[in-house]
Structure 1
């Protein structure tokens, strides 16, 4: 991680608390982390039910964290795998930077431009009403879109290799976000969203 806050950009959106750090990781750090995580995380392609049909999500994902950090979204029960050394170190770096504590990370692997994520908000009860989410991007630069739930305002940001996007405050209550697919030829991308589960799902 870069040792100072130079380059941090506070994004001015109503009803949101967003900041973007384009060079959170150095190029060499980001390159090494992308290579390791691509080959070592327990990637899986889950299915969700849409209008009564089981549909595979257009990406691979993995859930790591503390033992109690069970999570449920879109009908999926996420039971955490133990932290890897690389994920734990990055978690601590994100905690130091944001001043928040995290106990889980959702890793998404976008293999090419045909993979993406639709409109949603990270507003599950387990995250609380004003969650802090630290999102680290590795690999292909991709667009991330935001859409206000009430007035339809939209905002787009391009997330670069080694960058950090922090979403906090009322962002999840008022804004949805998405990673649109693209027909352009694209390399792979890994996104790591560190979060804190404060109401663990008991099974």
Structure 2
């Protein structure tokens, strides 16, 4: 492993501000946090409604926060639990980079390549006008894609490595969808922490 973390770089997306920090955490830190969160988080498996049909969500989720504000998406309303010490430690690292204080963390556990997250934008009204979303990856690397909301031929992709931070801010959620697609490859589980502000 390099003694110095690789420089963060910005993705070349019009009308967006997306920055990738490959080594926010060391390999040892990422592995330790992954094991801790796998055990201590109250994972849940919700049903989602898509075009009038109900399906099991293709991943496990959890919501933690410094306040009691719920979060709703895809006809699911989640009520948060208080931050654990592990989440507080990761949150502090993210806040030092992002320069903001996050209130809430939506966690996703992708158990294998069949688990995914379809095209969407984090644009729910409780997140504010220009939400800042800080996405931390632990566990297996996974492909992550962007697609312009209007011109769907405009796309970008990136491999999210364990210990990395992807920071989406500005008008990104107004103009771009993102997804974590399914893969036929045999992949180990991945935990994703998405820090956000729900005032």
TM-score of the aligned structures, taking structure 1 as reference length: 0.93
Distance (Å, rounded) in 1 between the aligned partners of 2:3 and 2:177: 31
Structure 1, unpaired ranges of 5+:
199-203
The Cα shift of 1:52 comes to 2.4
Superposed, which structure 2 residues align to 1:8-19 within 5 Å? 8-19=8-19
Deviations 1:11-65 (A, max 9, x none): 1210100000100100000000001111110001101112322211000010000
Q: Partner of 1:189 in structure 2?
A: 190
Q: CA deviation at 1:6?
A: 4.4
The correspondence of residues 1-203 of structure 1 with structure 2, limited to 5 A, is 6-152=6-152, 153-198=154-199
Change (3 A) 1:4 1:134: farther
SS at match of 1:146: strand
CA distance in 2, matches of 1:91, 1:180: 26
**CA deviations over 1:123-167 (Å, ceiling 9, x no partner):** 000001111111000011100000000112000010001000000
List per-residue Cα deviations over 1:157-200 (Å, max 9, x = no partner). 100010000000000000000000001111000000000013xx
Runs of 4+ in 1 over 3 A off after TM superposition: 2-6
The structure-2 alpha-carbon separation of the partners of 1:52 and 1:151, relative to structure 1 and needing over 3 Å to count, comes to closer
By how many angstroms is 1:3 displaced?
11
TM normalised by structure 2 equals 0.95
Structure 2 residues not aligned, in runs of 5+: none
Separation in structure 2 between the aligned mates of residue 180 and residue 54 of structure 1, nearest angstrom: 20
